Amino acid sequence: MRLLIDTNIFLEVILEQERAQEARELLSRSGEHDMFISDYSLHSIGILLFRRGLHEVFRSFLADILEAGIDVISLSLHDMYAIIRAAERFGLDFDDAYQYVTAERYGLTIVSFDSDFDKTDRGRVTPGQLLSS
């Protein structure tokens, strides 16, 4: 399966939040799926960690996604119009619309804990759903 891993999945692990184990288990199975992270997610995680002075954590995160074979994908300037349309159509904020359009453009399934994707025609799956299937 081709998966777009949303920002919150990575942050769940990095910040040791409530569903970290579920997210960690999915990410440890990167060999079973083609996993992708958007450039937006990568940059957002970097911004958050730098603001907290966690440069080494970001360095480790980069090493982990490289080792797992998770590819970074991005959108073009022309895709920004699709982000606006998705935001208006589904009532999404910018980051969710960016993820939605990325998944649409590359034919990916969104993996997220964010229920805002449930309002879209693409929907989403959680790590737990993938692990139990």
DSSP assignment letter at 84:
H
Domain that holds residue 101: 2-132
CATH number at residue 104: 3.40.50.1010
Q: Give every CB contact of residue 8 below 8 A, 6+ residues apart in sequence.
A: 112, 113, 114
What is the pTM for the complete model shown?
0.96
Query: What's the pLDDT score for residue 38?
Result: 98
pLDDT > 90? residue 133 = no
Query: How many structural domains compose the chain?
Result: 1
Backbone φ and ψ of 35, nearest 5°? -110, 140
pLDDT in tens, 41-53: 999 999 999 999 9
pLDDT in tens, 22-38: 999 999 998 899 999 99
Q: Give every CB contact of residue 19 below 8 A, 6+ residues apart in sequence.
A: 12, 113, 127
pLDDT in tens, 91-119: 999 999 999 999 999 999 999 999 999 99
Question: 80 exposed, middle or buried (CB, 10 Å; 0-12, 13-18, 19+)?
Answer: middle
